[in-house]
Amino acid sequence: MNQNKINKNFSEKSNMKIIEYLKSDKKRAGLIISILIIISGVIPLLIFTFYADVENPYTIEQKTLVSSDGTHIEAVVYTPKEVSKKHPGIVVGHGYCGNKQYMQPLCIELVKRGFTVVSIDFRGHGSSEGHMPSRGQKFRYNKLAEDMEAGINYLIGTGKINKIGLAGHSMGGHTALEVAEDHPNKVDATVCIGSASTDHDFSRISNLLIAIGQYEQVITKQDAVRVVKKYTGEGDIEIGKRYGHFNDRDACKLFIGPMSEHLGEVHDVTIAHETVVWFENAFNGEVEESIIITMMYHQIFYWITMFGVIAFLFIGIVYMKDYLFKNKFVYTEKEIMEGVSMKRLLIYYFIGNAAVFLFYSDLSFLFTNAVPISSIESLLALSLAVTLSIIVIYLLFLLRHKEGLSLKDLKSKFIQICSPNIKHSIIYGILVALLFIIAISSIAHWSSTTTFPTLRETGAIIWIALLFFPYILTKEFYFRAVQGRLKTSNRFKEYFEMTGLGFLMDNLFLIPVMILFWGNEDGSLAFTFSLSLTALVLILMIQQTLVTWVYMYSGRNIFGSAIFLSIFYAWMIINFFPFAG
């Protein structure tokens, strides 16, 4: 009994010492907690990536395939370990702006069922060579089809494959239909996720599953129903009902995931389950054993890990500031636009954002040949339009005598926010950008998204960062003017207030437009104003979360935060947007 009391007292004292130790230095405590979060996330993430099913082990290998025109196509090959006899194989293709790693959770679910899976980077995407054909080129999907055919040829070349299936998301789904139609004797089943088109000879496509999310932006339910109607010849189509027979190679079904939109369809657990069941039935005639989907655990622990990494980076930024600036670090005066109300700044920016959409597309021709990256001309045009709108706002609205400003103030205010700590702030912005890229890539590259840049991507990142820098610098000037109007002395409160305000300013106009065109019957309008804006809103959310913190610890110099954001933004663009022809 006495020994128990001694142990209890010792335990209580130890806990008190640990608590006191953590309280004594909040930065150190945050660093330790973030490391513990990373460990608690990354270990299960490793397990659910490489050892998701102990009873059905598999290997994951990087392979380089060669398309029929000689383009090197990078792929990840998932091979079941316990399969000694001939078995089915599946080629998986990602969507536009995606890559092979993004399809990994689905690929793991398929390899667990005893299928060899080849997940490819289409040309221009991920780590593959070549360029993505432009949208106007008639042979665009012919070239993408060659990349998917390289995966088929690899499977056949192993000598271990007896049946072949195709699965694709969005652009990859459309390509899968093209390939299935071109090779009716090779392809035994096709799963098309987030894509539906009636422009095919469905008599040549075997066993087709169409799967979309309930909140799909681009493909409407009516579009998907029309595909199933044409495939089956049925007058009325019931969603979720299977038509035809697998043995006759004419099975067809439309499935709608209850919770996902276009970007998240690939990671929708219900769609993954339907995909597995579809291939099981197509290849084996039945589902051979109970299906346990582990995709959701992969996603949960991925986001836990990323949360820990971001928390670690935020604290690392503070430590880096202490080391780099030492005693030379001095916060500049936050106030930039004395006498200008917060309400005016917000209203003017909203008006400017609304005006941007009236003419930004007309500016895209200026950047058509700036960088060989698909769709970058639109992003550059958007950035230029925002910059012009800020200048117009300043000249027309802010430079008025009753607000205490004059034309010469533009230069003086700009110098005021740029001159202090400029050398250290520039170095700081570059180092923090590199720190973020390396840390995030270390987790994302093998688990969800190809993020380590190749040599040609590194060159493109530098060039894109230089192109975006003037526009981001101008935007930073305006946003930090808004931040200077915040009436708070608490740094954390200031951060959260400005992050929320920045997100509101960026998206107050975008989100209503996005919702307005969601699921529009005109697919091009839905793609441009709904799906694209969804991605942009997510990017802007990440941007505001990071850049405000960097600004506050870079000497409150917009050169530091603008350089950080230019590099980080360029890296994100390279991660998702393909090299284009």
What ranges do the domains of the chain cover?
A: 21-50, 54-298, 339-576
The secondary element (H helix, E strand) that includes residue 213 is strand 208-213
In angstroms, the CA 532 to CA 96 distance is 11
pLDDT at position 395, please? 72
pLDDT at position 330, please? 47
Q: Which is nearest to 560 in space by CA: 261, 219, 317?
A: 317
CATH superfamily entry for domain 54-298: Alpha/Beta hydrolase fold, catalytic domain (3.40.50.1820)
Residue 303 is classified by DSSP as H
Q: Are 93 and 148 in contact (CB under 8 A)?
A: yes
In angstroms, the CA 107 to CA 76 distance is 9
In angstroms, the CA 379 to CA 373 distance is 11
Residues in the chain: 581
Burial class (CB in 10 A: 0-12, 13-18, 19+), 334: middle
The secondary element (H helix, E strand) that includes residue 314 is helix 295-325
How many CB atoms neighbour CB 449 within 10 A?
Answer: 19
DSSP state string for 114-129: T-EEEEEPPTTSTT--
All residue ranges of the chain with pLDDT < 70 are 1-24, 134-140, 325-340, 398-410, 419-420
pLDDT at position 6, please? 53
pLDDT at position 331, please? 47
pLDDT at position 566, please? 96
- Token digits of residue 182: 């071109």
In angstroms, the CA 530 to CA 323 distance is 44
- Token digits of residue 540: 């802007």
In angstroms, the CA 534 to CA 411 distance is 36
Torsion of CA 476, 482, 486, 491, to 10 degrees: -10
3-state helix, strand, coil in the chain (%, to 5): 60, 10, 30
Burial class (CB in 10 A: 0-12, 13-18, 19+), 434: middle
pLDDT at position 191, please? 98
pLDDT at position 332, please? 47
In angstroms, the CA 245 to CA 207 distance is 8
Amino acid, single-letter form, for residue 456: R
The secondary element (H helix, E strand) that includes residue 75 is strand 72-80
Q: Are 244 and 203 in contact (CB under 8 A)?
A: no
In angstroms, the CA 210 to CA 197 distance is 10
In angstroms, the CA 334 to CA 340 distance is 14
Distant-in-sequence, close-in-space partners of 400: CB < 8 Å, separation ≥ 6: none
pLDDT at position 337, please? 59
501 phi and psi, to 5 degrees? Answer: -65, -40
| Helices 491-507, 455-483: crossing angle, 10 deg rounding | 110
What end-to-end distance do the CA atoms of the chain give, in Å? 79
Residue 258 is classified by DSSP as S
Q: Which residue has 């200026």 as its token pair?
A: 366
The per-residue b/e assignment along 149-175, b for 16 or more CB within 10 angstroms, e otherwise, is: bbbbbbbeeeeebebbbbbbbbbbbbb
Alpha carbon distances (Å) from 440 to 86, 128, 436, 444: 39, 21, 6, 6
Q: Are 118 and 192 in contact (CB under 8 A)?
A: no
Q: Are 534 and 217 in contact (CB under 8 A)?
A: yes
- Token digits of residue 530: 């709904």
- Token digits of residue 230: 């044409």
Q: Are strands 161-169 and 187-193 parallel, antiparallel or unpaired?
A: parallel
Residues paired with residue 191 on neighbouring β-strands, in sequence order: 167, 209
